[in-house]
Amino acid sequence: MKTRFTTRDLVYIAVFGALWGVLEITLGSYLHLIFPPVATPLVGVGTIMTAMGMVVALIGRLFVPKTGSVLMIGVVVAILKALSMGGVKLPAMLAIIIESLLAELGLILARRPNRGGFMLAGCLAVLWTFFHKFFASYVFLGRGIYDVYLGMLKEGSQALGIGMGYAVLIIVAFLLIRIVVGGLAGWVAWELGQEIRDQGLGIRD
């Protein structure tokens, strides 16, 4: 059955999309300028911004408790990203949409909004920041996947203080950190959303 969004739903989607978009355009740009002092190779700016974006989008999901609302919020963010001063950045726009799709998948698997579903949605979305390195470098920059893999191992080995020979450990570290960060984002979104619900600020059951 096709999901129908009311005018009120669309307003909420626009509001939360704008909030995430503002974070991307302002804080995201600032973090890129001061990187790497703020973020290590294991937790890049993309991971941080995706986690923050998921907090906003998942709270928005509580305001619009319908399948597809998180994806629509992501589309709003991608459009705002295209209209920002930096111009159209296809890799970043595509990443936001894919992350939103994965978050929707997590919510669908959970069947109904709950803490575990939000945490799963956050995990899936933030995990994409690992795979996006390979996807974007190959599709948009023409770099070989193996070259990206070697570069990632080098960064990870330096951050962890171990040799590149521990490739499996390095990759596991990359993935585990994103799972933890994504799960934390989902947990924060659920807790903040419940606080907003308790305050009676417009969330419907």
Q: What is the pLDDT along the chain (205 residues), one digit of tens a residue?
A: 467 899 999 999 999 999 999 998 888 777 767 765 444 566 777 889 999 999 999 999 999 999 999 999 999 999 988 887 655 577 788 899 999 999 999 999 998 889 999 999 999 999 998 887 776 665 555 566 666 666 766 776 766 667 766 777 878 888 999 999 999 999 999 999 888 877 766 555 4
**Model confidence, pTM:** 0.84
Q: Tell me the residue range of the domain where 89 lies.
A: 7-199
Residue 165 placed within a domain = yes
Residue 1 placed within a domain = no
Residue 68 placed within a domain = yes
Residue 2 placed within a domain = no
Residue 204 placed within a domain = no
Question: How many domains does one find in the chain?
Answer: 1
Contact 103, 57 (CB under 8 A): yes
